Structure 1
Amino acid sequence: MCRWAAYRGDPLYLEELVSSPAHSLIEQSHCATRAKTATNGDGFGIAWYGDRPEPGRYRDILPAWSDCNLKSLARQIRSPLFLAHVRAATGGGTRRDNCHPFVFENWSFQHNGQISNFDRLRRPMEAMLDDRLFHARSGTTDSELLFLLAMQFGMAVNPIAAMAEAIGFVEGLSLHLTGSVLVRFTSAFSDGRSLYAIRYATDRKAPTLYASPVGSGNCLVSEPLNDDVDAWREIPDGSAVMIDDTGVHVSPFQPEERAADEARTPAAISA
């Protein structure tokens, strides 16, 4: 399982989440405490927003703890909204274009979790993408494909609903093709204005997610960045989060059943 952190608020140096805290993201890359896998050494990435609509991004296949460039960039880059990720690969090779965050136009996305039987679901999932989104896919992970599927289903208009439809589609497709369903999904994504997150799993064993104020903003993390347990609020399984100018908003999350039903029909798969 991967580890990630995300922030929205007044501009903050990336190092405040990535490298400075006692249990920073770099520390979690080799010593995670709330994951099945303590080591997350299959690459890392950061995506940050500045003066332009699209995010900047830096990714590499080195373990986060061994890349001196990451610490240098995190010390110098100051951003009001950024995502950072350290990877423990569960599918897809260890290569740069499989490292999170993934970006498309002004959107960024990172994920911790898995889609069971992805090798059997990949082609019909890809078939749902229009040409523009299909050709935007550069890696081989289930995470990137699920992100593009949500873009196909209208993430630019309604991010949470689009992700609910994408997950519902995958669940219906899995049930139709394999007779079973297992999706574990804890993600953060942004359009450069608001920060969104979802914690959900079909078996109620979703990867962890916590929220806390940091400076003059709010952050979301896979596990707390320090030992101040009272500062960290665990986001319940089956939740959607939105962080905007008014604060942190948590609401129930469920996949879109209509998408799951349609996914069982050959017409939907070939549309």
Structure 2
Amino acid sequence: MCRWLAYSGKSVALETVLFQQEHSLIDQSLNSRLGHTTTNGDGFGVGWYGRHSEVPFRYRCLHPAWNDTNLRETARAVRAPLFVAHVRAATGTPTQETNCHPFRFGRWLFVHNGLIREYPLVRRDLMMAVAPHLFRWIEGSTDSEVMFFLALTFGLERDPRGALEQMAGLIEEVGHRYDVEFPLNMTVCVTDGQQIVAVRYSSEADSRSLFHSTSFRQLRALYPNDPRIIAAGDNAFLVLSEPLIDVQEVWEEIPEATILVARGGEIEHKRFLPRLPDQSM
């Protein structure tokens, strides 16, 4: 369906994660091992945070990631302490640049793997729930972008967990209203450049794969002479759809119905509980 990752740590070249690993994200765009689809070639995107910019940078393209020479050049040239990347397999919406992740609003970036089932049926109700002052910023036609703007509507910028739970709760409520048995399947990531918030959740309790790194200190012990691992630092962190290397103890699968918050080297897991939006919103 899609594959994505998010990195935080010391500033590293994007190519370190996107290209230079055994099972890099670019490799996953051609040969996903754990994804719903093997190939994710309906566009890609990268978002990163610069030292002197309030708004994150993005590079998005509707071409397959494995076939974009400009992505290779960009990934070699750009260094960042926090970035997200996504390769897309479309689920019923057009292959166009405005439908490529990450989606952006202010300092926030958002990526998603999964789907809102029967989206054409529920789309109008969901879009009408987006706050009027935000609606003008929706550029594409994907369910993912509407999920992002619903979360913004419900207070993502002040309470990410609460906003994402209300977003999921509304989607399920609207879906059930139209007799959709399992309305939502998602792994999502949002970040403001200071924290990474990731969720694994689905209405049927059978979500897409999602992992996080356990310890870069442990990685450094396994590969003491690897300059890429040394450059990332001991507090580096990755959350991602599929592991980049086949070393089992380096990765931990994120459980069903879990929200993860990573900030300043600290990682916190909590139960993810969708709920209807607060009436005061």
Moved more, 122-131 or 232-241: 122-131
Residue number in structure 1 paired with 2:177: 176
**8 A Cα contact 1:47 1:101, kept in partner:** yes
Cα separation, partners in 2 of 1:21 and 1:179, compared to 1, 3 Å: closer
Once the two structures are TM-superposed, the CA of residue 59 in structure 1 deviates from its matched residue by 0.4
- Give the whole-Å Cα distance in 2 for the aligned partners of 1:75 and 1:254: 40
Q: CA deviation at 1:43?
A: 0.4
Match of 2:58 in 1: 57
The 2-side partners of 1:251 and 1:128 are apart by 27
CA contact (8 A) 2:186 2:200 kept: yes
Q: Confirm or deny that 1:239 pairs with 2:240.
A: no
The 8 Å contact of residues 36 and 208 in structure 2, kept in 1 or not, is answered as: no
Match of 1:31 in 2: 31
Q: Read off the aligned partner of 1:236 and give its amino acid letter.
A: P
Q: Distance in 2 between matches of 1:36 and 1:125?
A: 25
- The equivalences for 1:1-271 within 5 A come to 1-50=1-50, 51-212=52-213, 213-214=215-216, 215-216=232-233, 217-256=236-275, 258-259=276-277
State the TM-score, normalized to the length of structure 2: 0.90
Letter in structure 2 aligned against 1:79? A
Are 1:166 and 1:259, in contact at CA under 8 Å, matched by a contact in 2? yes
Secondary structure of the residue aligned to 2:277 is helix
Structure 2 letter corresponding to 1:105: G
Q: Does structure 1 conserve the Cα–Cα contact (< 8 Å) formed by 2:23 and 2:244?
A: yes
Following superposition, which runs of at least 4 residues in structure 1 exceed 6 angstroms of deviation? none
Q: Note the C-alpha offset of 1:177.
A: 2.4
Distance in 2 (CA, whole Å) between partners of 1:84 and 1:166 is: 22
CA-to-aligned-CA distance 1:224-259 (integer Å, 9 cap, x gap):
001111111111111101110142211111101x33
The residue type paired with residue 52 of structure 1 is: S
Provide Cα deviations, 1:164-205, integer angstroms capped at 9, x if missing partner: 001101101111123533211101110111111000011111
Tell me how far apart the structure 1 counterparts of residues 92 and 162 of structure 2 sit (CA, whole Å).
Answer: 26
Whether the 8 Å CA contact 1:114–1:185 is kept in 2: the answer is yes
8 Å contact 1:2–1:86 — kept in the other structure? yes
How big is the shift at 1:97?
0.3
SS in 1 for 2:90: coil
- Alpha carbons 2:56, 2:107 under 8 Å: kept: yes
Which AA in structure 2 matches 1:132?
Answer: H
Change (3 A) 1:136 1:237: same
**8 Å Cα contact 1:172-1:259 kept in structure 2:** no
Structure-2 change in CA distance of 1:65 and 1:175 (3 Å):
same
| CA drift at 1:131 | 2.6
Amino acid at match of 2:25: L
In the alignment, structure 2 segments of 5+ residues that lack a partner are: 217-231
Letter in 2 for 1:173: V
Percent of paired sites with the same residue: 38
Q: Which amino acid aligns with 2:18?
A: V
Amino acid at match of 1:20: Q
The residue matched to 2:22 in structure 1 has which SS? coil
Amino acid at match of 1:141: T
Number of residue pairs matched by the alignment: 262
**Within 2, Cα distance between the matches of 1:191 and 1:116?**
28
> How big is the shift at 1:34?
0.5
Instruction: Return the alpha-carbon distance in structure 2 between the equivalents of residues 250 and 163 of structure 1.
Output: 15
In the alignment, the residues of structure 2 paired with residue 127 and residue 163 of structure 1 have an alpha-carbon distance, to the nearest angstrom, of 17
The AA in structure 2 aligned to 1:259 is P
> Is the CA contact 1:188–1:198 (under 8 Å) kept in the aligned structure 2?
yes
